[in-house]
Amino acid sequence: MSHIHLPDGVLPVWLWASGFVVVILIWMILLRVMKKEELTRRLPLLGMMAAVMVLGASVEIVPIAYHVNLTVMSGILLGPSLIFLATFVVNVILALFGHGGITVIGLNTLMFSIEGALGYFLFHLFWRLLRRLSLALFLATFLALTVATFSMIGVVSLGTPHYEELIHQEEGRGMIGFEFGKEKGGHQKEGVPEKEVNLKRFIAIILSLGFIGWVLEGIITALIARYIHRLRPDLLRLEKESR
């Protein structure tokens, strides 16, 4: 829910193009800042966690159109810089399966990265404050997903003039547009043209479905972390902070 499942051609070009520009800039900065040997050494781990996210995204909870992202879990295991690279790879692969458009890969990468990086920082903050693994992870996941969903809503709302344009385009022209264009013409005669884009309804639906998803993902992430902590506590790197 926290990323854009929009098809290609729905968002305005300037919006998705700026998504790509920002992602490329961040990539360039990260590749310069990170040590090459370190990056090469961790590439297989990055690939594996990206694969886990891809598999998580393929398990669909159809009634609410939700799937687990596992971005927060991956963010904790990979760290805030590698999660950015991983989410880009995940979005490319998901787009190749029609899971979100190809043109929105840049924007989706930003949403996913917000989720992963914020989840990482929030988890470490809550762990220091609460010292309870499950609770810290649940809260971190819930909040990270909430913020990512709101940023997704923000991005979608930036395209409002473009959606209006898409709705009104070809009114009264074309085979199908003609029939419905006539109906709309009736409304517009009365004066001020009616606003056709209803973002409030979209936001209400996304937030209500999203809430179920945030809780579900929060619980699943907390349970996964509990399992990992039981078997391989070293992966979560909590010892340093415990001292």
Partner 1 sequence: MIQLSYLDYLAVEGKSFLHRLSPKLKIIGMIFVLFAIVTVRNLPGLFLLYIFLLCLYFIARVPMRIFPLTLYPLIFAVLFIFVSQFQIRFILLVFLKVLCGSTGVVLLLATTPYPSIFSVLGKVLPSTFVMALFLTYRSVFILLTVLEETQHALYLRGGVQWKHPWRSLTNISNAFGHLIIKGIDASEKMYESMVLRGFKGKVHHRRE
Task: Count CB atoms within 10 A of the CB of residue 200.
Answer: 8
Output 36 or 243, the one with its CB closest to partner 1: 36
Least CB distance to partner 1 at residue 243 (A) = 24
State the DSSP H helix or E strand holding residue 60, giving kind and residue range, or none if neither. Answer: strand 60-61
For 130-163, the DSSP string reads H--HHHHHHHHHHHHHHHHHHHHHHHHHHTHHHH
- 5 near partner 1, rule: CB under 8 A: yes
- 88 near partner 1, rule: CB under 8 A: yes
Least CB distance to partner 1 at residue 233 (A) = 11
Least CB distance to partner 1 at residue 164 (A) = 9
* CA pair distance 189, 239, nearest whole angstrom: 70
> Which single residue is written with the structure tokens 């884009």?
197
- 105 near partner 1, rule: CB under 8 A: no
Measure the CA dihedral 66/71/76/82, to 10°.
180
- 31 near partner 1, rule: CB under 8 A: yes
Least CB distance to partner 1 at residue 36 (A) = 7
- 21 near partner 1, rule: CB under 8 A: no
Only segment of 31-39, 108-116, 124-132, 141-149 that touches partner 1 (CB under 8 A): 31-39
In terms of phi and psi (left: phi > 0; alpha: psi -120 to 50; beta: otherwise), the region of 169 is beta
State which of positions 138-177 bind partner 1 (CB under 8 A): 156, 163, 166-167, 169-170, 173-177
